[in-house]
Amino acid sequence: MSAPLIWIIIPGVFGIFALLITNQRILFFLGGVLALLLAFIAIIIPIDTALQFGNLSLKIAPAIEILGRRLVLIPADGPLLAIFYGLVAMWLFGAVLTKTSNRLVPLGLLISSLMIASIAVEPFLYAAILIEIAVLLAIPLLLPLNKTPGPGLMRFLIYQTLGMPFILIAGWMLAGVESSPGDLDLAVQSATILGLGFAFLLALFPLYIWLPMLAEEASPYNIGFIFWIMPTITIIFGLGFLDRYAWLRASESLQQALSIGGIIMVVTSGLWSAFQRHLSRQMAYAVVAETGFSLLALSLPPEKAIQFVFLLIIPRSLALLVWALSLTRLHENVGLLRFSNVTGLARKYPFASAGLILAHLSVAGFPLLAGFPVRIALWEGLAAESLGMAFWFLIGIFGLLTGAIRTLAVLVKAPQGTGWEFQEPSTTSIIIGFAVISLFILGIFPQIFRPLVGNLPAMFEHFGK
């Protein structure tokens, strides 16, 4: 038994078989339980450590070899696997409300296994190819078979695909930098190409324009899943580069680029969010802002940067999940999610509306909600370095909050005499209610995931040490 078999091959194979299952309830249940089981195993069984059960000895080997390439999951990856599959389980269980289990469960598990494989593969350059395969698998997830692809989907595919060759070329050049560290030109060129690759993969400004376009075209829940999984794993993949190359870690220009790139992402997404009139596009801009927060985190001193990046994962995931669930509920009832269509809906769908607003507020860093503790700590980190950067951060946050408040104003603006008529199924209310409570718990006690998140920096040998 090996770790890649458990956390990469089994979910992948299950994903393929799940394509044959048509019953949505069975699918969501089996998929959710599998993901939960994988998370549970990651918590209780350490990788590469022998466990004795009476006469029986159990050890999960860290690596397997496939087609001459190795997939390696080291013991320090355990907490990441637990968090990742725990969150995948939440997404898959949530699919019960969305009627998209038949696509989300099989393709979601396949994409998840590929993303984990991208972190585990050696040589690590093959990660770019695995991410590209995941992008290709995302297409049928986002686009039902009988529909014509829109411009957002096309741009998603093009931009993500463009990222792959840049990463591959950068990897090849970086190997050259390793062998001749004095060649400054080569270092600059390779860093530039690498930066371009990640600019495409992470959808940096203005390459993120496909996000709001795609959000308008696809099912909110499935798009939420993609918006969550892709940047999260890509950032961890990017951390691998920083861990591997000391000169890259030590580069002041890179810190500056991350800082400027991050603040541009936060500010532009905030400003666009403030003027947006489409609920799905609001979510897309929030995802852009989240990527900006991660870049800003990486621009801080390395020992803090790595902690910030991992602390951002759970609040972001939870907020996106609540957001996507709530949007899906509204989408199923009104179709188009333009402001003009959703005016006054809070009186019919109070839980979905509350979920939507609170998730938005959480991303914007409103106190008491999951996003707040990390946002304020990140902001303090920036303020300690430069008050100017802290000010621009404030502008970005202000934009996101304006977006949330405008959405609130639209959702509660019912015509005179409209009463409260609850039209939400109780399952929706319960699931969104629990998710919202989790947002509050994480906002007041952010340390509850500390046992898992605290060990994540150990995944990297050098970065943050």
User: Which residues have a Cβ under 8 Å from the Cβ of 77 and sit 6 or more positions away?
Assistant: 3, 47, 119, 120, 459
383 binding other proteins? (CB under 8 A): yes
The yes or no reply on residue 387 touching other proteins (CB under 8 A) is: yes
Q: Which of 122, 178, 183, 303 binds other proteins (CB under 8 A)?
A: 303
| Residue 346 touches other proteins, criterion: CB under 8 A | yes
C-alpha closest to that of 300 among 352, 242, 340, 349: 242
Which of 271, 293, 274 minimizes the C-alpha distance to 382?
Answer: 293
Nearer to other proteins, 94 or 350 (CB): 350
Nearest to 4 by CA among 66, 62, 83: 62
Q: Is 276 helix (H, G, I), strand (E, B) or coil?
A: coil
Query: What is the per-residue binding string for other proteins in 395-424, x denoting contact by CB under 8 A?
Result: --xx--x---x--xx--xxxxxxx-x----
Residue 307 lies near other proteins (rule: CB under 8 A): yes
Instruction: Note whether 13 and 43 are within 8 A (CB).
Output: no
Q: How far is the C-alpha of 113 from the C-alpha of 116, rounded, in Å?
A: 5
447: contact with other proteins by CB under 8 A:
yes
Which one of 23, 256, 426, 427 is in contact with other proteins (CB under 8 A)?
A: 256
Counting contacts by CB under 8 A, is residue 54 touching other proteins?
no
CA distances from 423 to 330, 337, 399 (A): 11, 18, 31
- Minimum distance from residue 113 beta carbon to other proteins (Å): 31
The beta-strand segments (E) located in 46-178 are 51-53, 56-58, 63-66, 69-72, 121-122
Say how many residues touch other proteins, by CB under 8 A.
68
For position 179 contacting other proteins by CB under 8 A, the verdict is no
CA distances from 64 to 48, 240, 330, 460 (A): 12, 20, 45, 20
User: Residue from 141, 271, 288, 318 that binds other proteins (CB under 8 A)?
Assistant: 271
Q: Which two tokens stand for residue 274?
A: 């403030």
- Length, in residues, of the chain: 465
Residue among 328, 360, 338 nearest 424 (CA): 328
**Where does this chain touch other proteins (CB under 8 A) — which range of 37-45, 168-176, 195-203, 233-241?**
195-203
Residue 264 makes contact with other proteins by CB under 8 A: no
Residue 377 sits in the site that holds other proteins (CB under 8 A): yes
Task: Tell me how far, at minimum, the Cβ of 97 lies from other proteins, in Å.
Answer: 24
Binding positions for other proteins, rule: CB under 8 A: 151, 184, 187-189, 191-192, 195-196, 199, 205-207, 209, 212-213, 247-248, 251, 253-254, 256-257, 271-272, 274-275, 303-304, 307-308, 311, 346, 366-368, 373, 376-377, 379-381, 383-384, 386-387, 390, 394, 397-398, 401, 405, 408-409, 412-418, 420, 444-447, 450, 454
